[in-house]
């Protein structure tokens, strides 16, 4: 089992790469989500692009998506497409969403 990642609410969350286990090129972009089970909400990656290796896809959740999240555990759930009918991968407790504390000396805007 891989180490759980930390997702900073309001920041980009990426470094996610998806590929076929047999090494063949993926024929279509996966539909990548983070699932907040406690609130039954799915957050969809807003960027899923072919990797330069032409075999896999990279996914990113931008700050526009993560700012909508609340603190807690998130599962990674990858579907074949946006119908969410065929789940290809599920990793429970994949990430923990946390609020970024302000930098010492930083003032919040009113």
As a whole number of angstroms, the distance between CA 94 and CA 71 comes to 13
- Asked if pLDDT for residue 21 goes beyond 80, the answer is yes
In this structure, is residue 107 part of a structural domain? Answer: no
pTM, full prediction: 0.87
Res. 1 pLDDT band, cuts 50 70 90: very low
Q: Which two tokens stand for residue 71?
A: 């603190």
pLDDT tens digits, one per residue of 4-17: 999 999 999 999 99
- For 70, the domain range is 5-19+26-99
Tokens 């599920």 belong to residue:
90
The answer to whether position 108 is within a domain reads: no
Structure confidence at residue 86 (pLDDT):
95
Q: Which pLDDT belongs to residue 104?
A: 66
Q: What is the DSSP letter of 70?
A: -
CATH of the domain at 41: 2.60.40
10 falls within a domain: yes
Q: Does residue 84 belong to any structural domain of this protein?
A: yes
Number of independent structural domains in the chain: 1
What is the side-by-side order of every strand in the sheet holding 31-36?
Answer: 5-9, 87-99, 72-79, 31-36, 41-44
Predicted confidence band of residue 76 (pLDDT cuts 50, 70, 90): very high
Per the structure block, which two tokens stand in for 77?
């759930």
């Amino acid at each position: 089992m891989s180490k759980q990642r930390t997702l900073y609410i309001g920041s980009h969350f990426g470094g996610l790469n998806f590929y076929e286990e047999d090494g063949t090129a993926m024929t279509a972009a996966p539909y990548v989500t983070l699932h907040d089970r406690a609130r039954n909400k799915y957050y969809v990656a807003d960027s899923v692009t072919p990797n330069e290796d032409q075999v896999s896809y990279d996914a990113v959740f931008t700050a526009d998506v993560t700012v909508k999240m609340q603190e807690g555990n998130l599962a990674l759930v990858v579907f074949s497409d946006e119908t969410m009918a065929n789940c290809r991968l599920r990793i429970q407790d994949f990430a923990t969403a946390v609020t970024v504390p302000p930098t010492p000396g930083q003032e919040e805007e009113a």
